[in-house]
Chains A and B, each alone.
Chain A
Amino acid sequence: MKTIKYTGLVIFLLGLAIFTGTIFSGSFNLTKSELDTFLREQNYKSTVIESALEKAVVTSEDLNIFEFSSRVRNAYYVSNNYYDNLIKKYDAEKNWDKKGEQYQYKIYGKPHTLSYTLAKEAGKGFVVENAGLVWFLTFGLGIIGALLFILPNLILLGKPGIKNDGIYLNSATNRGWIAWLVLIFLVSFYLTLYFMPDYVVNWTFILDPISQALAGRPASQWFVYGFLYCTIMLTMGVRMFIKYRHNKYQIVRTISVLFFQIVFAFLIPEIMASLQMPEYDFKNAFPLDYDFFFEWNLKSLAETGGIGIFILVWGIVLTLVIVPVMVYFFGKRWYCSWVCGCGGLAETLGDPYRQHSDKSLNAWKLERWLIHAVLVFSLVMTLVTLYCYFTGAASFIGIKSQWIKDTYSFLIGAWFAGVIGTGFYPIFGNRVWCRFGCPLAAYLGLVQRFKSRFRITTNGGQCISCGNCSTYCEQGIDVRAYAQKGENIVRSSCVGCGICSAVCPRGVLKLENGPESGRINPTDVLLGNDVNLMDLVNKK
């Protein structure tokens, strides 16, 4: 069994190495006519970019992606610098008309995006020609290896039951060197994906056939991310099914997050795209879906007729009605650990790291400041955006619409949710984003705290203060602090993953939805003492 497990690990690492290695493969160049077609599509007015790009990429040399990218970005700067200099010049001459004219020649968008778009056309080589084979060598080996690593646990873990043996004795799960390596890998992955997508354009070639079949278009870097996301969740979901096979709540919950990720977040939007509809993830509620009210989205929804209007109405109803009503009946868990994609990754890939959340009082204070600040930020941004959308103004209450959207997308959307939220799993735990950053979680949390039937019931005086519940709470709730006092746990941050209840050796904790009265039960003295003492304390 051990042999199978370690063979699996080797195969997985091989797949991962090949996957990473594909980045460096292939050659990139364009013919003159390919470039012309591209420029025509882009409709650039710049007269400089054509010759700059021609010099850069119309070549018989075999450029790798990094050289290619650097040349394209250089051409981009050459063109933009040219017009910037003209702007400066006319500015000095106070020739306002001429100055104003120059702006239309500038190329907007990010240099890496231009490079990515070109590279998608320019890529040649083994990966492009053998997408199927390379898929097997990367995704295929990764999945087979991971499953070989995971499946033997059915026997190695022994009888069904909580098996957390050795978590703090293992470098991967105890913030050792393996954990740091994983962190570096994940952070690099996100930085590249978000900010240098052209570097990983080869990955899109691997998935082009699948994307063509699904959506009738070549794969983008976001398709790669979505596909990878689903693959990882499924594989690590198998791990969950084995680890918690005695616990039906965990099994059902894991099936649910897998379903919503694969069907709602991945398949439906792709199929919608193939039908020329706007892509939409029907479960992704604003303000987690922070660009729902951005101009481009509203425009695209408005342009697509019936379905667009339906999505618009659905999105608003989802946030204003469905989300709070469901939280009232079931707690925020219905979203955060049953439906949400971020939660889904946290509960599968992130499960081995759940113990790293900070349980200190200071972390709780930070959490409350930070998450509510992000909620306010997202609401202000949306307000500004909507105001500008309807009035045509460029700014509102002194905030520029474009600036606040860019800032939010960069700081919250990319850095907080992605780079830190997932990249830091192995060190800070699997719910950093959900706990400290997600504006939707903040909103759900407010409802859960003040108007909900959900609570974690503490079972009288059975708690022995062992601390398993607190240790394995991914949201950093000091569950024990409540349990040992006989108090029910009613906390805005609880996502209802149910692990505290699962790891409790004494059957003290139960997630339940019940009447609101009696939900919060502060007790000074626990059950077990004779009634007199209880009366006394309760009278106080």
Chain B
Amino acid sequence: MEHIVIIGNGISGVTAARHIRKNSDKKITIVSAESKFFFSRTALMYIYMGHMKFEHTQPYEEWFWEKNNIALKEGFVGAINTAKSILEFTNGETLFYDKLIIATGSKPNKFGWPGQDLDGVMGMYHKQDLDKLEKFAPDNEACNRAVIVGGGLIGIELAEMLRSRKIPVTFLVRETSFWNGVLPALESEMINEHIKEHHIDLRLNTNLKEIKSDENGCVKSIIIEETGEEIYCNVVGLTAGVTPNIDFIKNTGIELGRGVKVNRFLETNMPNIYAIGDCAEQHEAIGQRRNIEAVWYTGRMMGETVAQTICGNKMEYKPGHWFNSAKFLDIEYQTYGWVFSEKGKKENEAYFQWKHPEENKCITISFDKNTHLFLGINTFGIRMRHEIFDKWLTGNKSIEYVLEYLADANFDPEFYKLHEPEIVAKFNEENNTNIQLKKKSWKRIFSKV
């Protein structure tokens, strides 16, 4: 019986295993050094904040793996012997595979800052990072201040985590405004304000120069590049993005770039070796996506796709329309299609924007200013239906169409105040149009086109 070995038990690896099991009775082994059972990495923050316990982050009960005949092996792969199809573990054990799926995910970026390996410096990615945080920042007496370096999604989550235990936080962001490489200025500035409302000391245009040590090798302070200011702290969170976790693959003959190079079928250059999830790097980008996509659902989709290929139904990885979501402290964010920030948008792309006068709600619709083709939407504080936007993007709808039927797309809980009339009114005013908002229709919501 063919033995499929998967390195990594994150969402990509586990999804691959589940779908291979659905479609075959191949022998499956998942290897992990991080934890025996699959857990949801995105939920680590909630454990520290006391919303959940670790067991709640595990989507499958422990009997699930045995029942589905998926073997879990704990161990750290030191090297891959591609000639003999053998994994070599750091403890000397070996494991033979017929097919190998590399799904090792990412690790936090470190840019060679002095002091970046001191005690009290950590990323927020692995379960072990959480243990470290619990050790160095159990409360605001043990940790008088934490400094977070890098203004992305993990950075703001780490800030939220620390604030939940009333630990003072200084948040160093390289950009002129939070995440403005991705978000339009209006939205980015709203998030800046919201960060400050949560009593986080947000420092824009600020880089880290070095991390200073005390006599015990622990973090004592950090120095800011631009001003030379020294900020005393006990914990430094490095959240300046992530990079594929592939050190152990070097010199195996598997082609690497920043990640493991794969074609559309998620195959590496070596036969019977595949790579999926955060650690996979497409030779050529798919649409406007990045070559490496460190996103939860793309990992899941790659797992689903590679499982089809391995079970004899060779299939290309074809992610559909881009979408994503996040939560910035209290503000939920969803995006469907492409909305680029002012920095990244092309000449033909225009925004229509609406912001609530008092609350933290706003939307940006990106459209082609020549053809009025709807390109994408960012929403803050308003939930939208994925299916509807997916359908509209596939159907090449115009921005006028999207606004006319915007009520179909709303996904806020019942009784919420709906803002579609205000949104449409603003568009009409700005563009001298006369779009009449249609009432929500179940028939349209369930229709396929």
Contact = CB atoms under 8 A, between A and B. Distances in A.
B319 A524 contact: no
A498 to B, nearest CB: 6
Contacts, number: 170
A491 to B, nearest CB: 17
A155 B22 CA distance: 51
B325 A468 contact: no
A468 B52 contact: yes
Contact of B319 (A248, A507, A528): A528
A517 interface: yes
A130 interface: no
Contacts of A162: 330
A465 B56 contact: no
B192 interface: no
Interface stretch (B210-218, B295-303, B370-378, B396-404): B295-303
B57 interface: yes
Interface string A150-167: 000000001111101111
B102 to A, nearest CB: 21
Specify the main secondary structure of chain A where it touches its partner.
loop
Nearest to B325: A506
Interface stretch (A86-94, A299-307, A427-435, A508-516): A508-516
Interface stretch (A140-148, A185-193, A401-409, A454-462): A454-462
A484 interface: yes
B50 A170 contact: yes
A296 interface: no
A361 interface: yes
Contacts of A178: none
A525 B304 contact: yes
Contacts of A366: none
B413 A249 contact: yes
Given A501-B413, A524-B22, A459 B304 contact: no
B59 A511 contact: no
B197 interface: yes
A533 B315 contact: yes
Contacts of A410: none
B59 A465 contact: yes
B446 A527 contact: no
A247 B297 contact: no
B49 interface: yes
A468 B386 contact: no
B59 A248 contact: no
Contacts of B11: 465
B268 interface: no
Interface residues of B, number: 58
B59 A460 contact: no
B442 A471 contact: no
A168 B416 CA distance: 29
Nearest to A360: B61
B84 interface: no
Contacts of B442: 514-515
Specify the main secondary structure of chain B where it touches its partner.
mixed
How many residues of A sit at the interface, in one of the four size bands? 35 or more
Given A471-B52, A481-B59, A527-B320, A533 B413 contact: no
A481 B18 CA distance: 13
Given A249-B414, A249-B416, A515-B446, A160 B50 contact: no
Given A160-B330, A468-B51, A530 B413 contact: no
B413 A461 contact: no
Given A160-B330, A480-B59, A529-B320, A461 B304 contact: no
B382 to A, nearest CB: 9
B415 A527 contact: no
Contacts of A361: 61
Given A467-B43, A505-B332, A461 B323 contact: yes
A467 B296 contact: no
A393 interface: no
Contacts of B414: 248-249, 498, 510-512
B398 to A, nearest CB: 22
Contacts of A518: 446
Contacts of B318: 529-530, 532-533
A287 to B, nearest CB: 29
A464 B40 contact: yes
Given A459-B385, A529-B318, A158 B52 contact: no
Nearest to A249: B413
Contacts of A169: 50
18 contacts: A159-B197, A161-B329, A161-B330, A166-B49, A166-B50, A248-B413, A248-B414, A249-B414, A464-B42, A464-B297, A465-B59, A466-B40, A467-B56, A480-B59, A502-B413, A507-B383, A530-B320, A532-B318
Given A361-B61, A514-B442, A517-B446, 12 more contacts: A462-B323, A464-B42, A466-B40, A467-B40, A506-B327, A511-B413, A518-B446, A527-B387, A528-B319, A532-B315, A533-B304, A533-B318
Interface of A: 158-162, 164-170, 246-249, 251-252, 360-361, 457, 459-462, 464-468, 470-471, 480-481, 484, 498, 501-503, 505-507, 510-512, 514-515, 517-518, 524-533, 536
